[in-house]
Amino acid sequence: MTVSIVEVSPRDGLQNEAALVSTADKLALIGTLVSSGVRRIEAVSFAHPKRVPQMADAEAVAAGLPRGDVSWIGLVLNEKGLDRAIAAGLDEINVVVVATDTFSRRNQGVPTAEAIAAWSRIATRARAAGLRTTVTVAAAFGCPFEGEVPEARVRSVIEQCAAAAPDELAIADTIGVGVPAQVRALHAVADLGIPLRWHFHNTRNTGYANALAAAELTGSLPVALDSSAGGIGGCPFAPDATGNIATEDLLYLLHRNGFNTGIDVEPLLPLGARLGELLGHQVPGQLARAGLFPA
Ligand code: ZN
């Protein structure tokens, strides 16, 4: 059983941290991830630097990425972002479509239908430029403004996003409210013959259970899980919450459950302390503190 990991600490992790991390420190973090065997990394977001100052050095980070056997992903919010991703020589783009209108308006300034239309235009242009495309359906497990998101609504958004033929369909628990029963229900909805990727936050300590549930639903198509070294990041709607599920903790769980990821956990363990120094607080990941077992 194989599950691939998409490392999102340089993007989703750092974007949701108050501290600004230098380009050199970002590239050092990325270097450790690559040497541990991580082969897909969401490295940057092409957001407006005034809106997301943590990502203001996206071009400089992209210029410093080691090219070769790693597929580099940039989060793209609009066609200008796509232009930047192409110019920066990235391999993949990830476009977010929020499942609820209220959150979509707050996040992207447009209702979901307009975000889907924009994703569709971006997908066509990205494909023509030779980039792999992922569409992420965000707030699929719950919305900070509208609460429960009806399954019919998520189904409709997923199907409309899938119509633009992404290489991968990502389902995100953006605010970390989901549980494994929802993973199974959404898997049935999202099983459209497109490889799936899952994005979990550990806001309510359910992220690892959700990730394992998603991994266990592996069929014939590849499955990818997003995670963040140290579990860094946060949730803009729960100020004291932790971030993404931690890569090293997830790997421990997956490997001891018989999954192959191609990643060596051990080189990742020192990242917990290093990220703690850079961010000015202890990171949520537990494995770096507890240690591997067996030692
Ligand atoms: Zn996230």
**Domain at 66, CATH number:** 3.20.20.70
Distance 295 CA to ligand 1 centre (A): 32
Active-site residue flag, 143? no
227's enclosing H/E stretch is strand 223-227
Report how far ligand 1's centroid is from the alpha carbon of 267 (Å): 24
Q: What is the mean pLDDT of the chain?
A: 96
Q: What pLDDT score does 219 carry?
A: 79
Looking at the chain, the number of H-run helices and the number of E-run strands are: 12, 8
CA 12 to centroid of ligand 1, rounded, Å: 5
In a domain, residue 105? The reply is: yes
| 26/4 Cα distance (integer angstroms) | 22
At residue 218, the pLDDT reads 75
Q: How many Å apart are CA 158 and CA 164, to the nearest integer?
A: 10
pLDDT at 213 over 80: yes
Catalytic residue among 93, 158, 235, 283, which? Answer: 235
Q: What is the total count of domains within the chain? A: 1
pLDDT of amino acid 201: 97
For position 180, what pLDDT does the model report? 98
**Residue 42 is part of which domain span?**
4-290
- Asked whether residue 82 carries a pLDDT value surpassing 90, the answer given is yes
Worst-scoring range by mean pLDDT, 71-80, 111-120, 232-241? 232-241
Note the pLDDT of residue 295: 84
Kindly give the distance from the C-alpha atom of residue 243 to the centroid of ligand 1, in angstroms, as a whole number: 8
Map residue 82 onto helix, strand or coil. helix
**Token couple for 91:** 């391999």
Is the predicted pLDDT of residue 39 greater than 90, yes or no? yes
Q: Does residue 38 register a pLDDT over 90?
A: yes
| 186 burial level (CB within 10 Å; 0-12, 13-18, 19+) | buried
Please name the residue that has the structure tokens 């860094």.
Answer: 232
Distance of CA 238 to the CA centre of its chain: 18
The C-alpha angle with vertex 191 and arms to 185 and 197, in degrees rounded to 5, equals: 90
In this structure, is residue 156 part of a structural domain? yes
Q: Indicate whether 160 belongs to any domain.
A: yes
81 assigned to some structural domain: yes
How many A from CA of 280 to the centre of ligand 1? 21
Please report where in the chains the tokens 């903790």 appear, as a residue.
249
295: in domain: no
